[in-house]
């Protein structure tokens, strides 16, 4: 059975992390969690120190904008799982 998976590729100063998710929404939520986890390590600290009130879109945008050397992509892939 062929299924779609959504692969998050997160590049950062220590290398790269890769994770796979069943939906685009789950993949984007994983990116938001990365941003929240590393919020205090971002290059641009002009935004508030507490990101808990930000939506996923806001936290991802604020974290990855002008955060030199860190970026992410979400790629869709088709995987053939055995029946």
Please write the tens of the pLDDT for every residue from 8-58: 999 998 999 999 999 999 999 999 999 999 988 876 666 667 888 899 999
The parent domain of residue 37 ranges over 2-80
- pLDDT value of position 28: 98
Q: How many domains does the chain have?
A: 1
- For the residues of 10-77, what is the DSSP string, one character each? EEETTEEEEEEESSHHHHHHHHHHHHHHTGGG-S---S-S--TTS-HHHHHHHHHTT-TT-EEEEEEE
């Amino acid at each position: 059975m062929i299924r779609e998976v959504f692969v998050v590729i997160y590049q950062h100063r220590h290398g790269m992390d890769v994770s796979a998710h069943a939906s685009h929404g789950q993949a984007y939520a994983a990116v938001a969690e990365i941003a929240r986890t590393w919020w205090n390590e971002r290059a641009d600290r002009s935004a508030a120190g507490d990101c808990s009130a930000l939506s996923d879109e806001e936290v991802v945008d604020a974290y990855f904008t002008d955060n030199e050397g860190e970026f992410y992509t979400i790629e869709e892939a088709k995987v053939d799982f055995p029946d």
